[in-house]
Amino acid sequence: MRAVVQRVSEAAVSVEQVEIGRISQGLLVYLGVCQGDSSEDLMYVADKVANLRIFPDKDGKMNLSVKDIAGQVLVISQFTLYGDARKGRRPSFNQAERPEKAATIYQDFVDVLKSSFALHVEVGQFQASMRVSSVNDGPVTLIVDSSKII
């Protein structure tokens, strides 16, 4: 499982020009599910997202998590995080999980953030063409990968 995590002052997602999710200060998370991802992968990435200390404390040091600041999270499904562009000019998405299984894992990830970490979570629409807007704060952008290759 792979997540691109951005610290944002605000973010929103719309489908067919209808806004379906919006957050204020918090994290925008693009989540990709890989073939073979397990509950351990899910828990690893969810724990990292909830507890990454990337928000400034009173001294301006990145020392607080989204939980610490009572921030919000917007989670967007993003199978293209497993795009392999090493050969040719057209990426291969063979590593991405099949949509039926990925949708379940995506929803489980959202549920874990809500239930285990008590975060306010907004979501995109799985397999939809979405427009995501955000104001990256910092900018701070990190990659979390459960295979720990990044």
Does residue 129 come out as left (phi exceeding 0), alpha (psi in the -120 to 50 range) or beta? Answer: beta
Q: Of 35, 80, 104, 127, which is the active-site residue?
A: 80
Q: CA-CA distance, 124 to 40, in Å (whole number)? A: 23
| Residue 78 bears catalytic tag | yes
| Residue 79 bears catalytic tag | yes
| Residue 104 bears catalytic tag | no
Q: Of 6, 72, 79, 109, which is the active-site residue?
A: 79
Q: Of 6, 72, 78, 109, which is the active-site residue?
A: 78
Closest C-alpha to 133, from 26, 12, 27: 12
Residue numbers annotated as active site: 78-80
